[in-house]
A = this chain, B = another copy of it.
């Protein structure tokens, strides 16, 4: 996250989360990433909890600003760009994406026990679902997409994007694999017309687990 009007404390929180994760993060860790003392930090934020909730709001503003208008010509390109924007966060390299994604996963695990965190997670979810639904609906209206249910399709897409973020952390799946998978979903599932028939086999090589059984005809 780099922005001209970035908040130094929020940027420090971001760096501290990447370095320390959420569970063991202290106010001192965050202060260490700023010019402020821990006491000065406490003057603005009375607890780690309060600071992290503010950080989630900051993140929401950054995220929605970045993802709101994917640009692109026409619904298909716009949806593909939306997926790309969500899939590839602005972190400069994959290590940092994993580090930050890991901290976010820890924060998601707080949601059942922390109403403030839960509210923020729901807000992200509503925003993403609304964006995806609008993009799918645009594509249907323009005749580029099949007449799928925009609500369910958007829900599915956002769920898969969430799962992709988790897989990045838990099994180290790289972005290329996820991108290809989502691209294939859009091509195969959404596109109206000849795209549906043009399914090309494009396995990714890690097929060591359990070959298909009864496909012998």
A residues engaging B (CB < 8 A)?
Answer: 21, 23, 98-99, 102-103, 105-106, 108-109, 111-113, 118, 121-122, 125-127, 129-131, 133-134, 137-138, 140-141, 146-152, 155-156, 158-164, 166-167, 169-172, 177-178, 180-182, 184-185, 188-189, 196-197, 199-204, 206-217
A141 to B215, CA, bound (A): 6
Specify which of A98, A131, A147, A151 lies most central, judged by the most chain B CB atoms within 10 Å of its CB: A151
Say yes or no: A181 contacts B169, CB within 8 Å.
no
Contacts A109-B169, A166-B163: A152 and B197 contacting too (C-beta < 8 A)? no
- A177: chain B residues within 8 A (beta carbon): 155
Say yes or no: B156 contacts A181, CB within 8 Å.
yes
Integer count of this chain's copies in the complex: 2
- A166: chain B residues within 8 A (beta carbon): 105, 108, 162-163, 166
Considering only CB atoms, which chain B residue lies closest to A125 in the complex?
A: B171
Q: What 10 A-B pairs have minimum CB-CB distances, sorted nearest first?
A: A163-B163, A130-B210, A130-B209, A137-B212, A162-B163, A151-B203, A159-B163, A108-B170, A126-B209, A105-B109
- A155: chain B residues within 8 A (beta carbon): 177, 181, 204
Say yes or no: A210 contacts B200, CB within 8 Å.
yes
A35 to B92, CA, bound (A): 51
Tell me the smallest distance from the CB of A43 to a CB of chain B, in Å: 28
**Contact among B140, B169, B213 for A134, CB-based, below 8 A:** B213
A51 to B136, CA, bound (A): 46
A23 to B103, CA, bound (A): 13
Say yes or no: A213 contacts B203, CB within 8 Å.
yes
Contacts A112-B169, A169-B111: A214 and B203 contacting too (C-beta < 8 A)? yes
Tell me the smallest distance from the CB of A214 to a CB of chain B, in Å: 5
Considering only CB atoms, which chain B residue lies closest to A106 in the complex?
A: B109
Contacts A163-B161, A197-B199: A188 and B105 contacting too (C-beta < 8 A)? no
